[in-house]
Chain A
């Protein structure tokens, strides 16, 4: 599974740093590092929906508050 997090200006202001750090921690906690490839990308042109995260090409709008929920529903569930 390939995940990318936008680290462009707009998403950075909306909190891409805490989102990335939380996702990295969640990947480590769940021992998923060999199944998920996490990368960054510059602006995807969807700044209104930031922080933009894609999972295998599908776009999600995540915030530092919703990142745990997002990971449970859209990442772990799919891998299970």
Chain B
């Protein structure tokens, strides 16, 4: 197996006063392990731009993922996009990042600011080939990928940030590059890098963006496996089998749930030491030799799901979980930032104590939590495996 994987994160801010974003990012994973990422920027802003960019990115990603040629994609777009009644053109610029087998990046760019490529932390001026497809000038590049390569695609709302307010000509490309080089040094994840870039644009616009601004960051990184055990097995006789499989796995081990961790402690024959240090409103964590993190179950995981949903969307609560030391924040740091391949070992035992109607927790909630968490993690580009016991 290829030891690299791509981590994808994107964020947009809307044109001031608009509810819809005129930029759209679409990510399609192919069965052979390749990924097609399209960032499209529709003409104008608001509903019209949103329709143009959504159509463009969906058409390109779907067609490319199905193995059709770039020429056919561009022709299809030109033939299908609705023509703007004011300007008389159908127009949406796009950037395509095609990550082939996590080894090669094919970058195809049409009229968007050129993708910034950071290699070994520095700007890398990659070769580009000019192509004329359907009367459009398109740049195409093929780059062999290395660990820690970072690709930053953006819509023109980013370099235009601050025009007439802070800067005469907007946020210059060289300045964006040095900003991202500095941020990249901190080892932030793709989602955080894209958020930092777009937030900076928002500031430069003085809080009232004159255009939709979007950035999409792809970061090549080593695969890091991680395992999470959640709940005791429905059949008590399966405890040993579950523990054997869980502890045989490579990577860090997280255990959620009081009963579950007691069973693990028994299996490991080590003492389980719950701490009494309360951090926020999440129950305290515990320590157990041989396990990287032990937390309480449903309340903690429920909070992790909240953080995960926010992280794939608005990313407003990053400051909370990235710094705090409670169980939910620690799990979030491990799963969202460190891990790339996560295996869940979920026990389906029903905790008799939780069948009290006065408690806000029950069995179906627990099963939903795992479902929702794995969906959010998949959106972050992680490989998820769930085994039930």
- A residues near B (Cβ < 8 Å) are 5, 7-10, 12-13, 16-17, 20-21, 24, 38-43, 45-48
B259 cross-chain contacts in A, Cβ below 8 A: 42-43
**Among the listed B273, B281, B283, which residue makes an inter-chain contact with A9, where contact means beta carbons less than 8 Å apart?**
B283
Determine whether B284 belongs to the interface, using a CB cutoff of 8 Å to chain A: yes
B297 cross-chain contacts in A, Cβ below 8 A: 9
For A16, give the chain B residue with the smallest CB separation. Answer: B283
A8, B356: Cα distance in complex, Å: 15
A17 cross-chain contacts in B, Cβ below 8 A: 278, 281, 283
Identify 17 residue pairs between A and B in the complex whose beta-carbon atoms are under 8 Å apart, listed by A's number.
Answer: A7-B258, A8-B296, A9-B283, A9-B296, A9-B297, A9-B354, A12-B299, A13-B361, A17-B278, A17-B283, A20-B276, A38-B276, A40-B274, A40-B276, A40-B286, A43-B351, A48-B356
Contact B354 A47 (CB under 8 A): yes
For B281, give the chain A residue with the smallest CB separation. Answer: A17
A21 cross-chain contacts in B, Cβ below 8 A: 278
Contact A9 B258 (CB under 8 A): yes
Contact A48 B276 (CB under 8 A): no
A39, B262: Cα distance in complex, Å: 15
Contact A43 B276 (CB under 8 A): no
Contact A42 B272 (CB under 8 A): yes
A48, B353: Cα distance in complex, Å: 7
Contact A40 B284 (CB under 8 A): yes
- Give 10 A-B pairs besides A41-B274, A43-B259 with Cβ atoms closer than 8 angstroms: A7-B274, A9-B361, A24-B276, A39-B276, A40-B284, A40-B286, A42-B257, A42-B261, A42-B272, A43-B258
A47, B355: Cα distance in complex, Å: 10
A43, B295: Cα distance in complex, Å: 12
A45 cross-chain contacts in B, Cβ below 8 A: 353
The minimal Cβ–Cβ distance linking B28 to chain A, given in whole angstroms, is 39
A5, B353: Cα distance in complex, Å: 17
A53, B298: Cα distance in complex, Å: 21
Determine whether B85 belongs to the interface, using a CB cutoff of 8 Å to chain A: no
Contact B296 A42 (CB under 8 A): yes
A7 cross-chain contacts in B, Cβ below 8 A: 258, 274, 276, 283-284, 296
A46 cross-chain contacts in B, Cβ below 8 A: 353
B258 cross-chain contacts in A, Cβ below 8 A: 7-9, 42-43
A39, B273: Cα distance in complex, Å: 8
**Nearest 8 CB-CB pairs, A to B?**
A42-B258, A47-B353, A40-B274, A43-B258, A8-B258, A12-B283, A40-B276, A17-B278
Determine whether B359 belongs to the interface, using a CB cutoff of 8 Å to chain A: yes
B359 cross-chain contacts in A, Cβ below 8 A: 10, 13, 47
